[in-house]
Structure 1
Amino acid sequence: MSSSVIARALEQAEALLADVPEDAWDAPTPCVEWTVRDLVDHLVNLPAQFSTMAAGESVDWSAPTPRHDDPTAVFHAHANRLLATLGQHPESVPEGMLAGELSVHSWDLASAVGGDTSGFDPEIAETGYDFMSAALTDEQRGRAFGPRQPAPDGANPYERLAAFTGREVPFRVP
């Protein structure tokens, strides 16, 4: 696994987390059942869950998501742990799976707080899209990923991935 894509995805997500406005915590997100706070909590815990998975342990993806007083610092610690675990177990988790999860939720968060992903690293979302478009079937979508939506003309890789995973692009606050 080329950890450079994952390292860049983690750095990008961390920068996004650090810029969440204080007044945005209760705002809606493209993840219909989640507020910005819920999405941040999920994003913060993803590297820890993938680190557990990479170490060969089972992950309870339905377990309640813990809240953290300093989500950016906790994310940073989880990201470092994930990179260390991937260094020890390089083929344990598909790079595209990690890139896809981090890209989709980075798009979700950027969209929810009024930002965009036009300045994000396109290779990360392209890596995620390649994996997800080959691996995610209609039967696997469940509640996490809705039916594929059309991406607008000129959509960037994050927008195309978001639309593929069932998000309406661009996100419109309900």
Structure 2
Amino acid sequence: MDELLTLHRVNADKFTSLVDAIGDRWDAPTPCADWSVRDLVNHLTAEQLWVPELLAGRTIADVGDKFEGDVLGEDAVATWRQAIVAAGAALMAEGAPDRTVELSVGPRAARDYLEELVTDLAIHGWDLASALHLDETIDPPTVDRLLIEWTARSAELRHPLFAEALPSTSSDDPQTALLALFGRRA
């Protein structure tokens, strides 16, 4: 779990630096179909807002529609920063690694949930960097971990929330292979 917590922090820091760089480009398109930069950041912010709730033992029914729609408000950067700090604190809380969270797909070990959070931060971080025309490099230890994890779990990627996987070759570098799993081309 310590490795995953480190990867969460590294990818959260990278995503935060990208959010800080948005400036007036909130309406710019992203590689995610039909999502602007604001839509993408809103999605990740809502996801991070769920973390303290779920790790505290609340269910989706308990929370209801609290994090639906625009959660960014008028100061999107500040809202993102507050959400990621609260998520990090909840993940670091005593006993958090041993908990089970109730997701829409059913109960999941906190470790598996954290793996999904890291995945979203890394892949959507790439999306945001692409949209902003900034450095698209994903942290190499994150790439290595996620490539192993999601290659083994590739059947789970056949879900409407993910783009269809693209072909990859043995000559592709690890980041290109990972992005292809998530339907993205570097």
TM-score range, shorter chain: 0.7 to 0.9
**Structure 2: tracts of 5 or more residues without a match:** 99-109
1 CA distance for matches of 2:152 and 2:172?
A: 22
**Paired letter, 2:51:** F
Measure, in 1, the Cα distance between the counterparts of 2:28 and 2:48.
24
* In structure 1, distance between residues paired with 2:53 and 2:119: 18
Partner of 2:85: 80
Residue 149 (structure 1) aligned with residue 166 (structure 2) = yes
Q: One-letter code of the match for 2:133?
A: G
Q: Distance in 2 between matches of 1:163 and 1:57?
A: 34
The letter for the 2-side match of 1:150 is P
Equivalent residue pairs, number: 165
Q: Is the 8 A contact 1:6 1:124 kept in 2?
A: no
Is 2:43 aligned against 1:42? yes
> Which 4+ stretches in 1 moved above 6 angstroms?
none
> What residue is the counterpart of 2:16 in the other structure?
14
TM score, norm. by length of structure 2: 0.75
Q: Which stretch shifts more, 35-44 or 99-108? A: 35-44
Which residue is 1:114 aligned to? 133
Superimposed CA distance per residue, residues 109-148 of structure 1 (whole angstroms, 9 cap, x where no aligned partner): 1111112323x4211233333333333416x533211221
Select which of 128, 132, 142 maps to 1:124: 142
Give the aligned residue type for 2:97: P
1:124 is matched by which residue type in structure 2?
T
Distance in 1 between residues matched to 2:53 and 2:149, nearest whole Å: 21
Q: How does 1:18-37 map to 2 (within 5 A)?
A: 18-22=20-24, 24-37=25-38
Does the Cα contact within 8 Å between 2:30 and 2:36 map onto a contact in 1?
Answer: yes
Change (3 A) 1:93 1:75: farther
User: In structure 2, how many angstroms separate the alpha carbons of the residues matched to 1:101 and 1:93?
Assistant: 14
Contact 1:149 1:165 in 2 (8 A): yes
Q: Could you tell me how far apart the structure 2 residues matched to 1:130 and 1:156 are?
A: 10
> Hey, which of these two has a bigger chunk of strand by percent?
2
Q: Is the 8 A contact 1:97 1:131 kept in 2?
A: no
- Of 122-131 and 11-20, deviating more is 122-131
| Aligned CA distance change for structure 1 residues 12 and 57 (closer, same or farther; 3 Å) | same
Alignment partner of 2:153 out of 131, 135, 145: 135
Indicate how the Cα distance of structure 1 residues 126 and 55 shifts in structure 2: closer, same or farther if over 3 A, else same: farther
- Kindly provide the amino acid, as one letter, of the partner of residue 20 in structure 2: A
Q: Counterpart of 1:90 in structure 2: which amino acid?
A: P
Change (3 A) 1:154 1:161: closer
Between 98-107 and 52-61, report the one with greater CA deviation.
52-61
TM-score after normalising by structure 1: 0.80
User: Is the Cα contact below 8 Å between 1:36 and 1:109 reproduced in 2?
Assistant: yes
